[in-house]
Amino acid sequence: MIKLMPQVKSLNIKDGFLANKSLNISNLNCDIRLIEALSFFNCSVDGSPVIIETVDMGKEEYELIINTDSISIRARDSAGAFYAIQTLRQIFREENVPCLHIYDKPDFEYRGYYHDVTRGKIPTVSTLKKLIDNLAYYKINSLQLYVEHTFELEEYKNIIEYTGYITKEEMRELDAYCKKNFIDFIPSLSTFGHLYELLQQDKYKHLCILKDYHPDSNFWYERMMHHTINPLLDESVKLITGMIDRYSDNFDSDIFNICCDETFDLKKLDDGQNDVGMIHIDFVNKLIKHVNSLGKKAMLWADSLLLNDPDVIKNMPKDTYFLSWCYDEHPDADPIVKFGKMGVKQIVCPGTSSWSRLCENVIVEENNITNMINLGRENKAIGVLNTNWGDWGNPCSIELAMYGTVLGAAKSWDASTEINDEFYDAVNSILYENDNGFQILKELSILHEKMNWFHFCSNYIEYRYDSKFYYNRSVIGNINAIQNEYLSIKQKLEDVKWINDEYRQEMLIAAEGVCVMGELSAKMFNQDIVRITDTKEWLDKYRRKWKEKNKKDEFYRIEDMFIYLEEN
């Protein structure tokens, strides 16, 4: 049986096999991007001819027909033909390519991926291009990078030298690379809340709602939770719209995500006379109006908007995109239902459950992604934006968030996709290229539940700074189980090699990292144990992998934590 990811709407296998797996594309007169996509195959003038026909079909819809002596692709647009080629690539993994007829189309017109490049880890251009290749392969058609301060805007010139950043030239290079892969590269910039690095600067402190703020020792929490710009000041509008202008210049997309989520500090403006909800809406509308003046449609996180009268939301510009997010295993349907009844352009946003972890939480992400996409389908959402955040130092590699990424892509294309043994077999075959890839990931995910990164970091801050923040003793009594489960995973991974071996290597490092955290946690609590890991040896492995794939960034914060706990 042919394994495909995402699954197709209709697959009819016929008698016979393609006689020649080499392809002849010399006579094609089509979008150059399709020619480039076909370069993944072995091509020669003696190969099976490929025919691409333009026909009257829906957007991104396609037919793929394989005969004994030719391959035919039928689609209305180049995007549909491109997705037919991605399906063909997966079919060509078979030793013998069967004759067949496939009809396929997506359930959602918008199928996006959102990747955090702000909270500690900034991927290199080559790493992001590899991610883009994977997204295209699984038929994702939109990418956003979460940016607060990690781009070379003038306002952050004194910040980015120590945090790391993406240059204008690099962002434009990524924009062009996305376009080659039929991916809309949408700019996403914090413009209201989440402005820690902007509003901590002397030049801009007077624009911060929080007055006389002094950072706590829990840096990751502080950067994430506070610092909303004062929307009542004209200077705030001028500053933010200027940043939008200069950031937008690096993208061809006709959409701009202004974010505007988690504006926690707005409540401080409530003096009994101000309507905080309307203050919020007024500022958001000013930003939307400005984005529209640039010839672009606005997109924003929709969580705070439901505090307001639904009529206010319905009266916002009709082409605004509302992002409904929830990352719980069993998400609240109410916000999605409310936006659905308003008839606005809603996009549902599940997540990979990889943040604050060394690997994704398989059980949570499966339920979250499935339930959110089902709710989106039921409430006429136009699309899905699967999120991969980086809270608390972004410790997880892209590889160990990729199962949730592929799951989101599969369900975005075909919402009826069932997560069962057949699905896992396809994941193992296509993603990991190993029969046990998913099963070991799940074991690693369960192991990580016994030693939580968030609690580990919080305990470290308490241990080092006596800050009394979320102190958690859950590791006590679990260390032997952590060690035993780590050794079991290590044995399965250590003396083998996968075809897609980067996944195996990252799993091995993550499993050892969980054990290191458990043993250091026992040390913090003065628990007498026999260690089976070496902190500095593990840190060397973790650092090498991190540096291979990422630019100068804030790895030093993670490194400092482990070294301090080892030496004190």
Q: What local confidence, expressed as pLDDT, does residue 468 receive?
A: 57
Question: What pLDDT band is residue 275 in, cutting at 50, 70 and 90?
Answer: confident
What is the pLDDT confidence band of residue 82, given thresholds at 50, 70 and 90?
very high
> How much is the average pLDDT of 515-531?
93
**Above pLDDT 90, what percent of the chain?**
83
Fold of 10-104: Chitobiase; domain 2 (3.30.379)
Collapsing DSSP to helix, strand or coil, 325 comes out as strand
Report the pLDDT averaged over residues 523-547. Answer: 95
SS3 at position 169: helix
Q: What value, to the nearest 5°, has the Cα angle with vertex 220 and ends 217 and 224?
A: 120
Q: Tell me which of 530 and 274 has the higher pLDDT.
A: 530
Banded pLDDT at 475 (limits 50, 70, 90): low
Burial class (CB in 10 A: 0-12, 13-18, 19+), 269: middle
Radius of gyration, alpha carbons of the chain: 25
- Which residues, listed in sequence order, are joined to residue 348 by a DSSP beta bridge? 324, 384
Rounded to 5 degrees, φ, ψ at 117 are -120, 25
Task: Give yes or no for a contact between 212 and 280, defined as CB atoms under 8 angstroms apart.
Answer: no
**Rounded-to-5 percentages of helix, strand, coil across the chain:** 45, 15, 40
Q: Is 129 exposed, middle or buried (0-12, 13-18, 19+ CB in 10 A)?
A: middle
pLDDT of residue 361: 98
Do 137 and 113 form a contact (C-beta atoms < 8 A)? Answer: no
Give the pLDDT mean for 535-547: 98
The reported pLDDT for the residue numbered 213 is: 80
Looking at the predicted structure, is the pLDDT value of residue 145 above 90? yes
User: Six-digit token pair at 191?
Assistant: 């413009």
Q: Which residue has the tokens 């959102």?
A: 114
Tell the burial category of 286 from Cβ atoms under 10 Å away from its Cβ (0-12, 13-18, 19+): middle
Residue/partner pairs of 456-464 with CB below 8 Å, 24 or more apart: 456/517, 456/520, 456/521, 457/220, 457/356, 457/392, 457/393, 457/561, 458/218, 459/521, 459/524, 460/524, 460/561, 460/564, 460/565, 461/217, 461/218, 463/524, 463/565, 464/217, 464/564, 464/568
Cα(401)–Cα(486) distance, integer angstroms: 19
pLDDT band at 490 (very low <50, low <70, confident <90, very high): very high
Q: Are 23 and 41 in contact (CB under 8 A)?
A: yes
Query: Residue 469: pLDDT above 60?
Result: no
Quote the DSSP letter at residue 265: G
Q: What's residue 161's pLDDT?
A: 85
First to last CA, the chain: 56
Would the CATH topology of 10-104 be identical to that of 110-419?
A: no
Determine which of 99-108, 172-181, 287-296, 523-532 has the lowest per-residue pLDDT on average: 523-532
SS3 154: helix
> Which residue type occupies 161?
E
Q: What would the mean pLDDT of 317-322 be, rounded to a whole number?
A: 93
Whole-number Å distance between alpha carbons of 557 and 522: 21
pLDDT reported for residue 306: 65
pLDDT at residue 224 in the model:
82
Residues whose CB falls within 8 Å of the CB of residue 164, separated by 6 or more in sequence, listed in order? 122, 150, 551, 552, 553, 554
Task: State the CB neighbour count (10 A cutoff) for residue 381.
Answer: 24
Distance CA 231, CA 279 (A): 7
The predicted-structure confidence for 380-419, as pLDDT tens digits, reads as follows 999 999 999 999 999 999 999 999 999 999 999 999 999 9
pLDDT per residue as tens digits for the range 328-377: 999 999 999 999 999 999 999 999 999 999 999 999 999 999 999 999 99
Cβ atoms of residues 151 and 122 within 8 Å: no
Average pLDDT over residues 493-501: 95
Query: CATH number of the domain at 110-419, out of 3.20.20.80, 3.40.50.300, 3.40.430.10, 3.30.70.1400?
Result: 3.20.20.80
pLDDT over 90 at 505, yes or no: yes
Say which residue, 226 or 258, is predicted with more confidence: 258
Return the pLDDT at 244.
98
232-236, 321-325, 461-465, 467-471: segment of lowest average pLDDT: 467-471
What are the extents of the domains in the chain?
10-104, 110-419, 437-567
Confidence label for 282 from pLDDT (cuts 50, 70 and 90) = very high
**What is the per-residue pLDDT across 414-461, written as a single tens digit (0 to 9) for each?**
999 999 999 999 999 999 999 999 999 999 999 999 999 998 998 899
Torsion sign, CA atoms 288, 290, 293, 296: negative
| pLDDT score of 148 more than 70 | yes
Per-residue confidence (pLDDT) for residue 313, from 0 to 100: 83
Which region, left, alpha or beta, applies to residue 476 given φ > 0 means left and ψ of -120 to 50 means alpha? Answer: beta
Which of 183, 188, 187, 210 has its CA nearest to residue 199? 210
Per-residue pLDDT at 553 = 83
pLDDT at 471: 60
Among the listed residues 85, 70, 195, 197, the one whose alpha carbon sits nearest the alpha carbon of residue 139:
85
477 pLDDT higher than 70:
no
The pLDDT score that the predictor gives to residue 308 is: 64
* DSSP assignments along 473-506, one per residue: -TTTTTHHHHHHHHHHHHHHHHT---TTHHHHHH
**Statement: residue 25 has pLDDT above 90:** yes
Higher pLDDT, 442 or 280: 442
What's the pLDDT score for residue 139? 98
Taken as a whole, the chain contains a residue count of 568
Lowest mean pLDDT across 26-40, 202-216, 394-408, 486-500: 202-216
* Mean pLDDT across 298-317: 80
Distance from C-alpha of 166 to C-alpha of 170, rounded to nearest angstrom: 6
Phi, psi (deg, nearest 5) at residue 459: -65, -40
For 44-76, the DSSP string reads: -TTSEEEEEEE-S--TT-EEEEE-SS-EEEEES
Q: Rounded mean pLDDT of the chain?
A: 94
